[in-house]
């Protein structure tokens, strides 16, 4: 597929920034894996360890099967010349360093939500998590766009966006939180099945939920971006995307605590206390 006519196809990667951000995100991804694996390894809970690793690396594979599609739909373009290649999808050349971002941002974010649900989180706990995801999104994307120039958003009718003052469209920020929430909830629903092999369906659920959550809120914005709609129409469409995204986040936070018991039958039983280790006191 040929690149879109208004995409900045002549962008060139700065090698120093690519190495800097690439090593940073591979490091964060490695730290995420270590932190997720530490508890199950200490407890010798190999099923829990496998579950967590499947969630994280299913998130990473989203860089291959999802990123190019969402970029083409939302008009994001990666610098192609000099980039570390990963995959080309829908005419978008996705670089290699996107895979660790997907591991820690989407796989890790979904795992944090899953663990909070399993541990009995309250609705406000999830709202705090979603707020943290929004802040992480800003801290992640704006430096890469403004300082490194490794990718950019484009389009004459891109809503809630300015290439200099606000280079990350607002509708992306509210949408990206669903890319953690929806996979987390659907994975929990999947794991409610009692089959011991059910976790191997997690990659399919992860990929599918990425597309579902993105399309659920962004369809009018994408239609406006690709139909030549006026700036007014594009902003109205993006307003719908933002409002529905925020409402979905809020109601998701209310629903999440009710899903606490869905994975109970997959958890390793705790060892019964050893009564022989604490004998009854002997009377004098």
Q: What is the pLDDT of residues 107-162, one digit of tens each?
A: 999 999 999 999 999 999 999 999 988 888 888 888 889 888 999 999 999 999 99
Question: pLDDT > 70: what percent of the chain?
Answer: 93
Determine, yes or no, domain membership for 174: yes
85-89 and 92-95 strand pairing:
antiparallel
Q: Is residue 8 part of a domain?
A: no
The answer to whether position 41 is within a domain reads yes
- Residue 2: inside a domain: no
Give residue 1's pLDDT band: very low, low, confident or very high (50, 70, 90).
low
Measure the CA dihedral 137/139/145/150, to 10°: -80
- Residue 101 domain flag: yes
Per-residue CA distances from 70 to 10, 95, 153, 255 (Å): 20, 14, 12, 27
Number of compact structural domains in the chain: 1
- Does the pLDDT of residue 63 top 50, yes or no? yes
pTM of model > 0.95: no
For the cut 60, the answer to whether the pLDDT of residue 274 exceeds it is no
| pLDDT exceeds cutoff 60 at 240 | yes
Residue 9 lies in a domain: no
97 domain-assigned: yes
Asked if residue 192 belongs to a domain, the reply is yes
Residue ranges making up the domain that contains 160: 15-264
């Amino acid at each position: 597929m040929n690149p879109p006519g208004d995409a900045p196809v002549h962008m060139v990667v700065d090698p120093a920034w690519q190495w800097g951000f690439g090593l940073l995100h591979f490091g964060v991804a490695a730290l995420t894996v270590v932190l997720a694996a530490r508890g199950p390894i200490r407890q010798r809970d190999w099923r829990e360890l496998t579950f967590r690793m499947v969630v994280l690396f299913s998130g990473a594979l989203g860089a291959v099967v999802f990123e190019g599609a969402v970029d083409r739909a939302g008009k994001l373009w990666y610098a192609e010349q000099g980039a570390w290649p990963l995959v080309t999808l829908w005419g978008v050349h996705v670089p290699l360093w996107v895979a660790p971002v997907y591991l820690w941002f989407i796989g890790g974010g979904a795992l944090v939500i899953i663990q909070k649900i399993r541990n009995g989180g309250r609705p406000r706990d999830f709202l705090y998590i979603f707020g943290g995801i929004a802040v992480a999104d800003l801290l992640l994307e704006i430096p890469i766009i403004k300082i490194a120039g490794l990718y950019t958003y484009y389009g004459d009718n891109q809503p809630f966006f300015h290439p200099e003052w606000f280079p990350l469209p607002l509708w992306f920020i509210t949408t990206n939180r669903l890319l953690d929430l929806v996979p987390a909830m659907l994975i929990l629903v999947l794991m409610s099945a009692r089959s011991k092999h059910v976790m191997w369906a997690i990659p399919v659920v992860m990929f599918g939920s990425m597309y579902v959550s993105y399309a659920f809120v962004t369809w009018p914005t994408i239609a406006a971006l690709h139909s030549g709609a006026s700036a007014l129409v594009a902003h109205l469409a993006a307003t719908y995307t933002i409002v529905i995204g925020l409402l979905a986040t809020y109601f998701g936070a209310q629903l999440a605590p009710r899903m606490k018991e869905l994975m109970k039958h997959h958890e390793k039983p705790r060892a019964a206390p050893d009564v022989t280790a604490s004998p009854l006191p002997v009377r004098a």
